[in-house]
Chains A and B, each alone.
Chain A
Amino acid sequence: MSYDKELYQQVILDHNRKPRNFHVIEDASHNCHGVNPLCGDDITVYLNVDEEAGKIDELSFQGSGCAICKASTSLMTAYLKGKSVDEARQIMEEFHKMILGELDPENDEHNLGKLTLFMGIREYSSRTKCASLAWHTLIGALDKKFDGISTE
């Protein structure tokens, strides 16, 4: 797929202005609070996991932050809903590699779907934490990290 900067910008802008799954899940089976102390991004991710099937039934978030952080979290929730926990962990690994520039979505195999629109982050190393906070927080929720997640 080709790298369409303008389109990617528009999608991120749209998810920042109208974040998807932007609500609390009452009685969520898993949740975690994540912060980037240096820049103030602050989100909570909620999940309902079907433990028997190992599947993410519901996924949502709340919080505040920059456009990259909010759009990344919004797109993550939309993309992972219905996927298995194992898949989610695998995609987290790939996403992380992509934003660090270690995975090239145009040439390497991956399961990132439209999450590849964050590939531009590799040019802005100071913003990797904005894009990855959602994922660290998700993993924190799955691993039952009750103290929350901090990128520092």
Chain B
Amino acid sequence: MSDAKAIDAGNILDVEKIRKDFPILSQTVRGKPLIYLDNAATTHKPISVIERVHNFDAQEYGTVRRGAYKLSENATQLYEEARQKVADFMGAKSKGEIVFTSGTTQAINLVAHSFGKRFIHEGDEIIISNIEHHANTVPWQVVCEERGAKLKVIPVDDDGELIIEEYEKLLSSKTRMVAVNHVSNALGTINPVKLIAEKAHAVGAKVLIDGAQSSAHMKVDVQDIDCDFYTFSGHKMYAPSGVGGVYGKKELWEELPPYVTGGDMIVEVTLEKTTYAKPPARFEAGTPPITQVIGLGAAIDYLNDIGMDKISLYENALLEYGTRLFKDIKGVRIIGNAREKASLISFSINGEDPSDGHPHDVVSWLDRDGIACRGGHHCAQPTMIRYGVPATTRASMAFYNTTEELDALAESIRNGFPYGFVAL
């Protein structure tokens, strides 16, 4: 690799050493080495997480917060330690501000419905953006319908950046909630969330940041952003699937009613009346994903050991490298060219014939070369409509990816043009 940027990337992290931590990456697919570039969908697990989960289940597993015996007490302590790790990782004031859920989707639903029930009334307004995941769109649509509120949408420019002047015009004394992502899963845009929160607070609105795509790729500081809620998914952070959560300011959590009700979120239940537990327990009804939470704690340890600053720098070097490669391929159009962008390239293909290069064909074509990319609308159909494409192909990077893998991706794409990307 003679390219200067590739050398830069190599200097930031010892990627060969890191790759050895991820057993799944050493396999072959269809006879070719696996090149995994679908990290925005889900990430793989380092051996430290796999072993922690295994050992916990093998030696330490027990129910949490209920058993008055040693196994349960120990499991409860480990579970709460993991909550502390998440709180520290995100810059929360205390661990009580972290509520575990099954992931970002459930986290946003929890906030939307609970906050909606308490604070959103007829005639109020909720603001989202044109580049949200369906998980940060549909719950707000439902809440608007139920509460008689109105949904407003921040428009986005041709490069994929939110138009802040238009956002300012949408804000008013009727605005109750502004819910936007930190990073767009479809375009990679990093949104100016601190600025968005500041402007929302100026009119008295609360702010939810969907952090599904950011938490494992950049240093997040919820106090610096000054958001009211910040959601995340474990499986996009090198942790097991089935766990995620939401940070919320303590004073706000205290005002919110429960969303899911049942066991373990109560103080007292009689057949006439129930009193609810304090947060975070109030929002964690039922037995939580115990093992997965322990795995999340181990994943955060792993990320901290490498360092989020290094991860960001390295992934940014990959993005710059990949973007330049893609710009050299005639017939590739990058969708999303925001100045601040996470390590993700969404693109469409203008093939030799206008019918060529549908993202699903491209993805199968790449799969033939052992390359895993995503093709589709990325659960962001309003974003696709905005850019006039039914779907895109997306390569999303993690710190275990290499410039050589991006070379292989570019090579596979180049090779596809004469075949119209038809793989069989």
Q: Which residues of A contact B (CB under 8 A)?
A: 5, 8-9, 12-13, 16-17, 38-40, 64-68, 70-71, 117-118, 120-121, 123-124, 126-127, 130
B355 and A16: CB pair below 8 A? yes
Q: How far is the CA of A121 from the CA of B390 in the complex (A)?
A: 23
Query: Beta-carbon contacts of B403-424 to A below 8 Å, as 1s and 0s?
Result: 0000000000000000111111
A65, A67, A126: the one within 8 Å of B356 (CB): A67
CA of A68 to CA of B356 in the docked complex: distance in angstroms?
11
Residues of B within 8 A of A (CB): 353, 355-356, 358-361, 364, 367, 375-377, 390-391, 419-424
Query: B390 touching A8 by the CB < 8 A rule?
Result: no
- Of all chain B residues, the one with the shortest Cβ separation from A39 is B360
Chain A residues near B359 (CB, 8 Å)? 66
Residues on the B chain within 8 Å of A13, using CB? 356, 419-420, 422
Asked whether A12 and B376 contact (CB < 8 A) given A17-B353, A67-B358, A70-B355, the answer is no
Residue from B355, B359, B420 with most neighbouring chain A CB atoms (10 Å): B355
Cross-chain contact B391 with A40 (CB below 8 angstroms): yes
CA–CA, A125 to B102, complex, Å?
28
A116 CB to nearest chain B CB (Å): 12
Which B residues touch A71, using CB under 8 A? Answer: 422
Rounded to whole Å, the gap between the CB of A112 and the closest CB of chain B is 15
A16–B360 CB distance below 8 A? no
Is the pair A39, B356 in contact by a Cβ cutoff of 8 Å?
A: no
Residues of B with C-beta under 8 A to A126: 364
Other contacts beyond A9-B422, A16-B353, A124-B364: 14, CB < 8 A: A9-B419, A9-B423, A16-B355, A16-B422, A17-B353, A17-B356, A67-B361, A68-B360, A117-B424, A121-B424, A124-B367, A124-B424, A127-B364, A130-B360
Tell me whether A8 and B424 are in contact (CB under 8 A): yes
Most A CB atoms within 10 A — which of B364, B367, B375, B390? B364
Chain B interface mostly helix, strand, loop or mixed?
loop
Known: A17-B353, A127-B364. A67 touches B422 (CB 8 A): yes
B358 lies within 8 A of A66 (CB) = yes
The answer, among A38, A64, A118, A120, for a CB contact under 8 Å with B390, is: A64
Are B355 and A17 in contact, with the CB atoms below 8 A?
yes
Is the pair B422, A40 in contact by a Cβ cutoff of 8 Å? no
B409 to chain A, nearest CB (A): 19
B361 touches A66 (CB 8 A): yes
A68-B361 in contact given A16-B355, A16-B356, A17-B355 (Cβ < 8 Å): yes
List, in ascending order, chain A residues with CB within 8 A of B353's CB.
Answer: 16-17
Closest to A38 in B: B376
Specify which of B353, B361, B377 lies most central, judged by the most chain A CB atoms within 10 Å of its CB: B361
> Min CB distance, A60 to chain B, in Å?
17
Is the pair A12, B355 in contact by a Cβ cutoff of 8 Å? Answer: no
5 A-B pairs with CB atoms under 8 Å apart are A5-B424, A17-B355, A68-B360, A124-B424, A127-B364
